Amino acid sequence: MSLAWVLTLGALLFSLGIYGVLARRNAVLVLMGIELMLNAVNVNLIAFDAWIRQGNATGQIFALFIITVAAAEVGVGLAIVLLVFRRRETINVDEVNLLKW
Amino acid sequence: MVAVLLAHEEAHATAQAAGFFAGNAWLIPALPFVAVGVIVFFGKRFRGKGAEVGIAATSISWLLSVIILVTRYVGGGGPVVLRSVRWFPLGRDLGLGLGMRLDGLTSIMFVVVTTVSLLVQIYSLGYMHGDRRYTWYYAALNIFTGSMLNLVIADNLMQLLIGWELVGICSYLLIGHWWEEKPNSDAAIKAFITTKTGDIPFLIGVFVLFAAARTFNITEIIHQVEDGNLSHVTLTAAAILLFGGAIGKSAQFPLHVWLPDAMAGPTPVSALIHAATMVTAGVFLVARLFPVFEASPQALNEVALIGAFTMLLAALLAMVQDDIKRVLAYSTVSQLAYMMAALGVGAGNAGIFHLFTHAWFKALLFLGAGSVIHAVHSNNMSEMGGLRKFMPHTYRTFLIGSVALAGIPPLAGFWSKDEILTEAFRVGARTIPAHGSPVVGSIVYGVGIVTAFLTAFYMSRAVHLTFQGEYRGHGRPHESPATMTGPLWVLAGLSLVAGFAGFPGWQKGFGAWVGVGGETRVPEAHLLLIAVSVVVALAGIGLGRALYARVPARDPLLRLGWFHTLLVNKYYLDEFYMRGIVRPIRDRVSAAIGTRKGGGILRYLQSGDVQRYAAALFAGVAILAFLFTKF
């Protein structure tokens, strides 16, 4: 399979992620957008790793790192969302805007 | 004479040849930083709330420092140990390193810093007991200790600068330790901004040296200076700019105004940071780059004259203070000025010797003052008096510190102060060659003698007002616990004997192997000069005794009239800085460039809407990506 196809898939996933982060109001969906972006990066890494065929699998190992960090990130993120919801009874990101001028 | 120590490569030992301890001296600054990590994350789970972690780490650093000092001494000074790793590259052929330069100066500073830090941490067990930020206090003390040790071990100016700024931040944090009270946080901000004013020329000076020598490495810069590769103008400019940093850090005129206010911090902090270690960083800097200063008579004369001026100015202020810590603060300014003046007349070893002895007796005096404050709950000597009966240990140790500071033989302060005065006199009398002007040597000697008299007088005044006569405060004062009096006695012991390290005429004495700038001349003693300084010191003590032995209803110094008013108002310098510099800049200059108006418009950019921030971020990345593919 050509590298271009896989990279296109990565780019599409990344764009979906950006859309989620920038346009969705629900904080959980924003977090899911971030996950999509991270996975788009993973797809790219794996694709390049297979393409280069270096033998030491750096790209795959890096993808594993990203999965781990993403898990930690979403854990912290959901905890924050939960606390925001307990306090303000909303998880709409545009209503959580106290930190401004 | 200058280039003996640095006879280039052959004098430098590799890390392997230097032995385990000297080769791994980087452990000394590293250990307190490890302790910081442990204290910050796990400190509150320990039984001692993290204090024992800091004390343990500093103890190991102290032990290593002592081993290095002793092995170096037994080895007759030993070679300069250089070791470094590349930190990150800059451009094609430049790079920043993290490294160590272990010579006599570094090893003596190691012992001073770790000893005082260790004693202060032990003392704080009693003094800070039950404080609301006890664990954080120990973390900050250890950040400070590690940063200061990094400053003295640094082999390049950037690493030195990192340590320099970190100790400044620690000073800020610890002065403002009790920030809930406004004066304390104001004092912290003042200290930070005032020293930062000096750091700007310092930074420029570092870059001037870098531009000329194409390296930050101190050893290489010194080689180039000694080989005559750098022009006189460059060196003069660099030295004067670097000295700006030293003026700020070591509280010399005109940037001395922060140090007395810094007394708002806890007293052990004053002893560690604002008496024995951080404020000597400026003196250390001049000593470290001494060849740069020696290459420029103008810069040396400036150092000496600023020193001479500051020592008198500060000693006069110390006479009229009522706050016991402020007496000691002005005294510190004055004594630091002695060290600067010594360096300025070319007597680098005498200056560092005074740094060494001063660290013990001034830390002792501060900790003694802390013990008194702990007992009477006031800083004011007008609410003390008669404490001799209540606090015998504090009284005896404070007395030892005062006599050492006043310069009575055979205590520590006498030897170092007299060495400075003798060297200045000999420079003035042209019996030893000087890099600066002989006239400056005479000025330093004359002002130094007057200052010695004033020093003896204000310490005599402080001792009489605090410990003699009748108690004038509230409640019944009590002697401090053993965790506090123990460090006092250790420092008192050091104040008694430390001076013998630089016994005049001793071939293997202090200066011979510290060798600031490669200078290894053995100090000489002149009986006439010794007699003069002892008589002057005794006269000062006698005058203090005559005026304050029975506490007068009215301060006899009031008879000085307008001069007394001038001193009480600190020469109106704070007012001048406020009205002449701070307010014009704040009100007019900022109005002229429209800070307020511009800020009023720009702040609406911060909308609080995270998605808008994210959109800006993505747009920025997209633009950068476009530029990268295009060019």
Question: CA nearest B612 in A: which residue?
Answer: A22
To the nearest whole angstrom, how far is the Cα of B41 from the nearest Cα of chain A?
19
To the nearest whole angstrom, how far is the Cα of B608 from the nearest Cα of chain A?
4
Probe site for chain B from A26, A31, A88, A94 (most B CB atoms < 10 A): A94
Adjacent-strand bridge partners of B154 = B100
- Tokens at B17, concatenated: 């040849």
Cβ-based neighbour number of residue B407 at 10 Å? 28
Domain-embedded: residue A81: yes
What is the Rg, in whole angstroms, of the alpha carbon atoms belonging to chain A? Answer: 17
Question: CA nearest A31 in B: which residue?
Answer: B611
Domain-embedded: residue A56: yes
Q: Is B611's CB within 8 Å of A22's CB?
A: yes
Domain-embedded: residue A38: yes
**Do residues B158 and B95 make contact, with C-beta atoms less than 8 angstroms apart?**
no
Identify which of B312, B320, B315 has the alpha carbon closest to the alpha carbon of residue B547.
Answer: B320
Q: Can you list the residues of chain B whose pLDDT is less than 50?
A: 1-11
To the nearest whole angstrom, how far is the Cα of B612 from the nearest Cα of chain A?
8
Q: Which residues of A touch B606 (CB under 8 A)?
A: 100-101
- Non-local (6+) Cβ contacts of B41 within 8 A are none
Q: Is B611's CB within 8 Å of A18's CB?
A: no
Q: What is the pLDDT of residue B446?
A: 93
β strands within chain A, DSSP E: none
Domain-embedded: residue A52: yes
Cβ-based neighbour number of residue B132 at 10 Å? 10
b/e B441-458 (16+ beta carbons within 10 angstroms → b) = bbbbbbbbbebbbbbbbb
Q: Is A98's CB within 8 Å of B608's CB?
A: yes
Identify which of B590, B334, B324 has the alpha carbon closest to the alpha carbon of residue B467.
Answer: B324
CATH number at residue A69: 1.10.287.3510
Q: DSSP string of B163-223? A: HHHHHHHHHHHHHTTTTTSHHHHHHHHHHHHHHHHHHHHHHHHHHHHHHHHS--BHHHHHH
* Residue B63 identity (one-letter amino acid): L
Q: Is A22's CB within 8 Å of B615's CB?
A: yes
The CA–CA distances, whole Å, from B283 to B295, B315, B455, B498 equal 17, 19, 20, 19
To the nearest whole angstrom, how far is the Cα of A60 from the nearest Cα of chain B?
25
- Tokens at B60, concatenated: 């190991």
Probe site for chain A from B609, B612, B617, B621 (most A CB atoms < 10 A): B609
Q: Strands B12-13 and B94-102, how do they pair?
A: unpaired
Q: Which residues of A touch B614 (CB under 8 A)?
A: 21-22
**Do residues B19 and B107 make contact, with C-beta atoms less than 8 angstroms apart?**
no
Q: What is the pLDDT of residue B608?
A: 85
Closest Cβ opposite residue B611 in set A93, A98, A99: A93
Using N-to-C axis directions, what is the helix angle for B157-175 and B232-249, rounded to 10°? 20
Q: What is the pLDDT of residue B631?
A: 76
Q: What is the pLDDT of residue B16?
A: 54
Closest Cβ opposite residue A94 in set B603, B611, B615: B611
- Tokens at B209, concatenated: 């040296």
Domain-embedded: residue A65: yes
ipTM score for this prediction: 0.89
Distance separating alpha carbons of residues A96 and A90, to the nearest angstrom? 8
Domain hosting A17: range is 3-88
Q: Residue B477, class by beta-carbon neighbours within 10 Å (0-12 exposed, 13-18 middle, 19+ buried)?
A: buried
Any CB–CB contact under 8 A between A97 and chain B?
yes
Model pLDDT for residues B299-344, shown as the tens digit of each residue:
999 999 999 999 999 999 998 888 999 999 999 999 999 999 999 9
Closest Cβ opposite residue A100 in set B608, B614, B615: B608
Any CB–CB contact under 8 A between B601 and chain A?
no
Q: Which residues of A touch B603 (CB under 8 A)?
A: 101
Q: What share of chain A is helix, strand, coil (3-state, %, to 5)?
A: 80, 0, 20
Question: CA nearest A15 in B: which residue?
Answer: B618
3-state SS assignment for residue A35? helix
Q: What is the pLDDT of residue B246?
A: 94
Any CB–CB contact under 8 A between B610 and chain A?
yes
To the nearest whole angstrom, how far is the Cα of A101 from the nearest Cα of chain B?
6
Closest Cβ opposite residue B606 in set A18, A22, A101: A101
**Do residues A21 and B621 make contact, with C-beta atoms less than 8 angstroms apart?**
no
* Number of domains forming the structure of chain A: 1
β strands within B66-117, DSSP E: 80-90, 94-102
Question: CA nearest A99 in B: which residue?
Answer: B608
3-state SS assignment for residue B556? helix
* Residue B109 identity (one-letter amino acid): M
Q: Which residues of B touch A15 (CB under 8 A)?
A: none
- Non-local (6+) Cβ contacts of B542 within 8 A are B460
The percentage of chain B sitting over the pLDDT mark of 70, rounded to a whole number, equals 96
Q: Can you list the residues of chain A whose pLDDT is less than 70?
A: none
Domain-embedded: residue A39: yes
A positions 27-86 inside 8 Å of B (CB): 30
Model pLDDT for residues B201-240, shown as the tens digit of each residue:
999 999 999 988 888 889 889 989 988 888 889 999 999 9
Probe site for chain A from B596, B605, B611 (most A CB atoms < 10 A): B611
Angle made by CA atoms B119, B255, B242, in degrees to the nearest 5:
85
Q: Is B614's CB within 8 Å of A22's CB?
A: yes
Identify which of B411, B493, B490, B496 has the alpha carbon closest to the alpha carbon of residue B455.
Answer: B411
Domain-embedded: residue A82: yes
Distance separating alpha carbons of residues B410 and B521, to the nearest angstrom? 22
The CA–CA distances, whole Å, from B7 to B27, B219, B386 equal 27, 11, 58
3-state SS assignment for residue A88? helix
Domain-embedded: residue A28: yes
Any CB–CB contact under 8 A between A4 and chain B?
no
Place of tokens 């500071």: B405
